[in-house]
Amino acid sequence: MTPLSSPLSQYWQTVVERLPEGFTETSLSAQAKSVLTFSDFALDSVIAHPEWLAELESASPQADEWRHYAGWLQEALAGVCDDASLMRELRFFRRRIMVRIAWAQTLSLVDDETILQQLSHLAETLIVGARDWLYAACCREWGTPCNPQGVPQPLLILGMGKLGGGELNFSSDIDLIFAWPEHGETRGGRRELDNAQFFTRLGQRLIKALDQPTMDGFVYRVDMRLRPFGDSGPLVLSFAALEDYYQEQGRDWERYAMVKARLMGDNDDAWSRELRAMLRPFVFRRYIDFSVIQSLRNMKGMIAREVRRRGLKDNIKLGAGGIREIEFIVQVFQLIRGGREPSLQSRSLLPTLDAIAALHLLPENDVAQLRVAYLFLRRLENLLQSINDEQTQTLPADDLNRARLAWGMKAENWPQLVGELTDHMANVRRVFNELIGDDEADTPQEEERSEPWREVWQDALQEDDSTPVLAHFADEDRRQVLTLIADFRKELDKRPIGPRGGRCWTN
């Protein structure tokens, strides 16, 4: 284990003053000293729960302990009798396990790929545990949702993004899509509901259980905007509605998002297999599809404009050469060739990189550089977020957190860490430009004229966002214009493209 740097050794004296009762500077191991100096989140947590520190001092976290998460949570929920106690136990469990993951990550007790897997397994365990408890509670109240043949209907949850790929951040929101198989109504309850009502109420209670802040915090920020029609659409859709939507209205960015979609929990039943088979043709085309390159260019342009507009300097996710560009590089090959190359259909990035190398789609050296850069950036991102359990990808400006990250990344100092980061991001940017760079880019003059208009139309501007096109408007006028544009975009999103599109609302 790397000894603490001089700035962190000095900060340790501040930590000593806050140690929980029963622990002293001399009684703690060097491991505990390192973790509690690095992470304010870990320190605050063990101050509130000293028994967690005693557990960690007696036995370090193990790489495969994620296998026990479901059993541990089942024990924790055994005495839960209402939604309030469910929410409390979920938050308590999440915090306890996150401290264990932070401990293992800070000390490099397990490799960084395993940390990503542990974070993802924890989220899946909490989502499924909450869903199953609430499903049973809703069935007691309203009866069991069944199809016309009397077959019980489950709530299936698609985990999207890094959750679906098993690559979740330390402090992350979770993107979900809810679905149920067939129409029908509940049976055996005090009052009957049709399945759409039942699953909508269940979905609302599940989101509240995970997302609502309480005195114990929250479990995860839940984002449902990736579902068909986004915030304008139903919270939960039947299989038929999903199939109609993706066949008739699914857009390129939704294909991009669906690459990583994974059903949460046990997913080898007939309903799960049916849903996967339904979605696969939408994501992976049988023909080689080069049209996705321009779509990804457009998406990257939107992200770049957002970075500039919001002043997101030093952002290791969205900036040039950041994590998002590595994801784009990998998913270009998945969307273009995945229909013909099953090895490219993995939801996880690193196995897909291996497949890209095996198929000779990128030079071996490029793949190696992307792999090293990805693991470097993901470790840096997770360490950064574990300091305060805060969702951020922006490098810190203060000396203490810079010293923490330099130590956590095994750099001599902050300038050395920045130098290594710059090299990795330059390698990523080079590969990205060679693969996705626009061969027919606008001239500087054309770009200067068109960029503000793209910003207004393509980007989801907020009321307080600044853009040159609307700079001369008064505040109220600017808000009205942005509202009109946003409403028009929503109307276009809901307008059916094909003859069956309108039936997505009722199927």
Is residue 457, in this structure, part of any structural domain at all? Answer: yes
Is residue 40, in this structure, part of any structural domain at all? Answer: no
Residues 127 and 263 in one domain: yes
**Joined tokens for residue 333:** 């090959």
Residues 222 and 125 in one domain: yes
Taking only the tens place, the pLDDT of each residue in 51-88 is 999 999 999 999 999 999 999 999 999 999 999 999 99
pLDDT at residue 299, as a whole number: 73
**Joined tokens for residue 307:** 């970075």
Residues 413 and 475 in one domain: no
Question: The pTM is what?
Answer: 0.86
Residues 259 and 387 in one domain: no
Q: What is the mean pLDDT of residues 366-387?
A: 98
Q: Is the pLDDT of residue 259 over 80?
A: yes
* CA torsion angle 162 227 223 119 (round to 10): -30
- Could you give the CA distance from residue 152 to residue 22 in angstroms, rounded to a whole number? 53
* β-pairing verdict for 221-223 and 173-180: parallel
Distances, alpha carbon 349 to alpha carbons 113, 115, 164, 334, 363, in Å: 11, 15, 11, 10, 17
Contacts of 280 (CB under 8 A, 6+ apart): none
Is residue 240, in this structure, part of any structural domain at all? Answer: yes
Q: Mind spelling out the 3-state secondary structure of 184-248? A: CEEEECCCCCEHHHHHHHHHHHHHHHHHCCECCECCCEEECCCCCCHHHCCCEEEHHHHHHHHHH
Exposed / middle / buried, residue 212 (Cβ in 10 Å: 0-12, 13-18, 19+): exposed
Average pLDDT, the chain: 88
Is residue 321, in this structure, part of any structural domain at all? Answer: yes
**Joined tokens for residue 245:** 């939507």
Domain count, the chain: 3
- Could you give the CA distance from residue 145 to residue 155 in angstroms, rounded to a whole number? 10
Residues 454 and 343 in one domain: no
Residues 346 and 460 in one domain: no
pLDDT at residue 27, as a whole number: 92
Is residue 46, in this structure, part of any structural domain at all? Answer: no
Res. 431 pLDDT band, cuts 50 70 90? very high
Residues 212 and 343 in one domain: no
pLDDT at residue 466, as a whole number: 56
Residues 243 and 344 in one domain: no
Is residue 22, in this structure, part of any structural domain at all? Answer: no
Residues 277 and 291 in one domain: no
Is residue 101, in this structure, part of any structural domain at all? Answer: no
CATH, residue 386: 1.20.120.330
Q: Is the pLDDT of residue 187 over 60?
A: yes
CATH, residue 155: 3.30.460.10
pLDDT at residue 323, as a whole number: 96
In Å, how far from its chain's centre is CA 400? Answer: 28
Res. 503 pLDDT band, cuts 50 70 90? very low
Domain end among 254, 283, 312:
283
Rg (CA), the chain: 24
Residues 250 and 117 in one domain: yes
Domain end among 255, 283, 311:
283
Domain of 311? 286-441
Taking only the tens place, the pLDDT of each residue in 115-157 is 999 999 999 999 999 999 999 999 999 999 999 999 999 999 9
- Could you give the CA distance from residue 374 to residue 329 in angstroms, rounded to a whole number? 12
Domain end among 441, 458, 488:
441
DSSP string, 369-421: HHHHHHHHHHHHHHHHHHTTT----BPP-SHHHHHHHHHHTT-SSHHHHHHHH
Res. 448 pLDDT band, cuts 50 70 90? low
Is residue 159 a contact partner of residue 134, using CB atoms and an 8 Å limit?
no
Residues 401 and 452 in one domain: no
Taking only the tens place, the pLDDT of each residue in 275-306 is 999 999 898 877 666 677 777 777 777 777 77
Taking only the tens place, the pLDDT of each residue in 449-496 is 555 555 555 545 555 555 656 666 777 776 777 677 766 655 555 444
pLDDT at residue 471, as a whole number: 62
pLDDT at residue 450, as a whole number: 55
Residues 265 and 402 in one domain: no
Is residue 428, in this structure, part of any structural domain at all? Answer: yes
Q: What is the mean pLDDT of residues 371-387?
A: 98
